[in-house]
Amino acid sequence: MDRIYGILGIASKAGKIISGFDSIKDNIMKKLVNLIIVANDTSEKTKKEIKFICDEYEIPLVTFGTIEGNSHSIGKINRAIIGICDEGLAKKFLELINEEI
């Protein structure tokens, strides 16, 4: 789990992270997002809305961590949804998630 949070931290420092529902929605529509991460404790309404958008634009969506843990890893507060814009970092994140399973 620490390695996964490390990837999020690296992506954030590199400026390859977008957070917040409206910002992510806009960037998905511009096809600038390669992966969406939704915290496990996100509201069902928000999960449903972001899943619909991701399905429509064929963006992979992963449920991972908690709002607090994910937010802390990117240096923000109260971020339920995180978007990774870098394709390489998104692939590495997915690899690490699959190793955890």
CATH code for position 33: 3.30.1330.30
pLDDT value of residue 99: 83
How many distinct structural domains can be found in the chain? Answer: 1
pLDDT-derived band at 98 (thresholds 50, 70, 90) equals confident
Is the pLDDT assigned to residue 14 strictly greater than 70? yes
Is the pLDDT assigned to residue 9 strictly greater than 70? yes
Q: What is the pLDDT of residues 22-32, one digit of tens each?
A: 999 999 999 99
Q: Show the CA angle centred on residue 41, arms to residues 1 and 20, nearest 5°.
A: 90
pLDDT-derived band at 3 (thresholds 50, 70, 90) equals confident
Are 7 and 94 in contact by the 8 Å Cβ rule? The answer is no
The residue range of the domain holding 30 is 2-100
SS3 letters across 5-52: HHHHHHHHHCCCEEECHHHHHHHHHCCCCCEEEECCCCCHHHHHHHHH
